[in-house]
Amino acid sequence: MFDSVRANVKNDLVQIGWCNLTEREVKYYMIERSANGTDFTPIYQQPPSRNLDDKASYTYIDSRPATGPNFYRIKVAITNGRMITSRILRAEMDFSNTGFTLYPNPVTGDECIISLASEWKGKYTLEVVNSSGLRIQQVMLSNQGNGISQAISLPAGTRPGIYVVRIKGGEYTASQLLVKK
């Protein structure tokens, strides 16, 4: 159902965007925000655009994000009473901590969120390297605004262990350890 769920920081605002690949029988979409990634509060409700079993794209601007981390998720209420929840997104406001962060770390599933600070605009290469030094994944990132927060899915079959996540772009290079449970 969900595709391209994202949260980008631009000019002290957070732009949340998502697509529904097969929108039908949707009552509404609800955006929720959290300061800790656990306790969410609804901040916006969006009606469906057409409900004709085709792709529908949406954008919402959070004009009042908190300083520090902001976590977002999107819930879809279906007419049969079912609720579907997106993955959790993270947007970091006031990038006093330069560099990038990984969340959650350790990773319990196959997905984590990378947040890159606003100072370094441009294109980046993200690599995930296993303990043998072999690159298991490479992803291209583009930071066009005041920072980026993007979900990264580890390759299918990624085993539990410790991995190095490296980001390179322009004159910026950084790395962090990522633990997969």
Which segments of the chain belong to CATH 2.60.40.1930?
Answer: 97-180
> Which run of H or E residues covers position 41?
strand 41-46
**CATH number attached to the domain at 97-180:** 2.60.40.1930
Spell out the residues 6+ positions from residue 96 whose beta carbon is closer than 8 angstroms to its own.
none
CATH architecture observed for domain 2-91: Sandwich (2.60)
Which segments of the chain belong to CATH 2.60.40.10?
Answer: 2-91
User: Looking at residue 75, what is its pLDDT?
Assistant: 96
Contact 66, 90 (CB under 8 A): no
| pLDDT tens sequence for the chain (181 residues) | 777 899 988 777 899 999 999 999 999 999 999 988 889 999 999 999 989 999 999 999 998 888 778 899 999 999 999 999 999 998 887 644 457 888 888 898 889 888 876 556 788 899 999 888 899 999 998 877 667 888 899 999 999 998 989 988 877 778 888 999 9
Q: How far apart are CA 119 and CA 99, in angstroms?
A: 8
User: Looking at residue 120, what is its pLDDT?
Assistant: 64
User: Looking at residue 119, what is its pLDDT?
Assistant: 56
Spell out the residues 6+ positions from residue 82 whose beta carbon is closer than 8 angstroms to its own.
none
The model carries a pTM of 0.57
